């Protein structure tokens, strides 16, 4: 399973990149706002060291304007995945942009039928939002499982990019279901390494080691 980092915070991406944890990056207008950076400038900086897909999202609501924005974003670097919303206009833009050879990430997916139609429109990635479904007492992981079944039934090549990941358990469950990619904020990626028994065990080892009076170095 590939790890994409869901942020436009360049320092946070770099830290994880240096550990080999970054297979790609996803951004959206809210994350660009949070970064306080210009979208073109920050996306270019991310693409200067991340070689996997870097999603940059269009903001227009009409297909023809999405196409113009998508082509401009795609010109930043060859590894840009143009992110379009799961609307009828977004699907039109997806079809054209994927036909032109660009990677397309169809975002804001909340149903299996939306994922099905995005695959028909040639999406490279489909982004189902787990956490936002959980927020309204639906089950985001059920959606990942349904999409996995449908895509496997018909051998669709669209990759399931599980998004709106809020917890380490979301990551584990997506891996169990067989999502192709998860995109998660840096804090969730770091939380994958944490366990209370690791901390407790290390504390005990440190105390016992001190009692030995020995040194390794
Ligand atoms: O990749 C989509 C993601 O940024 C949305 O996450 O936590 O705002 O629902 P969240």
DSSP codes of every residue in 69-134: HHHHHHTT-TTEEEEEESSHHHHHHHHHHHHTT-EEEEEEE-SHHHHHHHHHTT-SEEEEBHHHHH
Which residue lies with its CA nearest to atom 7 of ligand 1?
A: 164
Confirm whether 58 is domain-assigned: yes
d(CA 174, CA 135): 17
Tens-digit pLDDT profile for residues 2-46: 999 999 999 999 999 999 999 999 999 999 999 999 999 999 999
Residue 217 in any domain: the answer is no
Q: What is the pLDDT of residue 67?
A: 98
How much is the pLDDT for 52?
98
- For a mutational test of ligand 1's pocket, the pick from 5, 6, 167, i.e. the residue with the most ligand atoms closer than 8 A to its C-beta, is 6
Per-position b or e across 103-121, b if 16+ CB within 10 A of its CB? bbbbbbbbebebbbbbbeb
Percentage of the chain exceeding pLDDT 70: 100
Residue 113 is assigned to a structural domain of this protein: yes
3-state secondary structure of 154: helix
Q: Which domain holds residue 93?
A: 2-212
pLDDT value of position 148: 98
Which residue ranges have their beta carbon within 6 Å of ligand 1?
Answer: 6, 26, 28, 129, 131-132, 163-164, 166, 183
Q: What is the pTM of this model?
A: 0.96
Q: How many domains does the chain have?
A: 1
Judge whether 54 lies within some domain: yes
Name the token pair of 51. Answer: 């070689």
pLDDT at 57: 98
**What CATH number is attached to the domain comprising 207?**
3.20.20.70
Q: Up-side HSE of residue 196: CA atoms within 13 Å toward CB?
A: 0
169-201 pLDDT tens trace: 999 999 999 999 999 999 999 999 999 999 999
Instruction: Specify the pLDDT at position 38.
Output: 98
- The answer to the question of residue 106 being in a domain is yes
Amino acid 192: pLDDT: 97
């Amino acid at each position: 399973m590939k790890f994409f980092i869901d942020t436009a915070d360049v320092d946070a991406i770099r830290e994880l990149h240096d550990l080999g944890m970054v297979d790609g990056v996803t951004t959206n207008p809210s994350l660009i706002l949070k970064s306080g950076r210009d979208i073109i400038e920050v996306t270019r900086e991310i693409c200067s060291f991340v070689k996997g897909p870097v999603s940059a999202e269009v903001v227009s609501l009409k297909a023809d304007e999405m196409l113009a924005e998508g082509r401009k974003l795609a010109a930043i670097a060859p590894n840009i995945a143009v992110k379009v919303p799961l609307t009828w206009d977004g699907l039109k833009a997806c079809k054209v942009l994927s036909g032109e050879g660009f990677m397309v990430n169809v975002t804001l997916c909340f149903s299996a039928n939306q994922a099905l139609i995005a695959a028909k429109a040639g999406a490279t990635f489909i982004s189902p939002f787990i956490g936002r479904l959980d927020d309204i007492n639906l089950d985001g992981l059920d959606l990942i499982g349904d999409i996995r079944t449908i895509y496997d039934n018909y051998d669709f090549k669209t990759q399931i990019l599980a998004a709106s990941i809020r917890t380490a358990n979301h990551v584990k469950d997506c891996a169990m279901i067989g999502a192709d990619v998860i995109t998660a904020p840096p804090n969730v990626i770091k939380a994958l390494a944490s366990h209370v028994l690791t901390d407790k065990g290390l504390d005990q080892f440190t105390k016992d080691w001190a009692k030995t009076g020995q040194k390794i170095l």
